[in-house]
A = this chain, B = another copy of it.
């Protein structure tokens, strides 16, 4: 008796997989999390409108997601801003989404079509870059032996030097997350660079004026300077670098 019960309780902690999956098992909550994958903070009303439910319904969902640790909230006046809890959460949702079946969703309007085309070209994927441009960057880095995939994705010594030359410090050892990770692109169905290095690359691109966020969306627009840099550094062709044509 006393051998087991006295000091530590005889209960064993096992992962409550169903509880976590249950948070994402609802269409509305899943759409909220996918929207938040852009890495920005949304208000409750924005998410309600985006998912097409009443504000009261959105409130309930957000409460559950915050209580479950998937979302972090920040109150500012009468606004409730909500964002993903952190990179680990984003990577988990990405991983799940990349294994999920595809579902056809109708394009609602011409404006919608434009937005989707811009998103397919270049967008933020939580803290790194995704889309055609991101896949091209990843491919080019692999071709130039900056990235190696022989034993999982990893930077080569040349890759580390390349990043340093760009002014991107490779000191991410304190964050505890994988430095180089691959993220499956929904639009391209190809892998692109993620993890701490992917995040540092996007930060550098935004800071140095290579690219900019389009308003409050997750669309990333390349600047002329960014096109020059990507052409020089990685040899990306113009058909990748130029923005998508409307005429299509």
Contacts and interface: CB of A to CB of B under 8 A. Distances in A.
Interface stretch (A54-62, A99-107, A137-145, A211-219): A99-107
A248 B6 contact: yes
Interface string A95-127: 111111111111100000100110010000000
B96 A20 contact: yes
Interface stretch (A72-80, A150-158, A202-210, A225-233): A150-158
A100 B180 contact: no
B10 A106 contact: yes
A99 B73 CA distance: 19
Contacts of A30: 17-18, 21
A152 B150 contact: no
A52 interface: no
Interface of A: 3-4, 6-7, 9-27, 29-30, 33-34, 68-69, 88-89, 92-93, 95-107, 113, 116-117, 120, 132, 150-155, 160, 170, 173, 178-181, 186-187, 195, 197, 239-240, 247-248
30 contacts: A3-B132, A4-B113, A6-B117, A9-B104, A11-B105, A11-B106, A12-B104, A12-B107, A14-B103, A14-B186, A15-B103, A16-B101, A17-B33, A17-B34, A17-B93, A17-B96, A18-B27, A18-B29, A20-B96, A21-B21, A21-B24, A25-B25, A69-B101, A89-B99, A92-B95, A150-B173, A151-B155, A151-B170, A151-B178, A152-B195
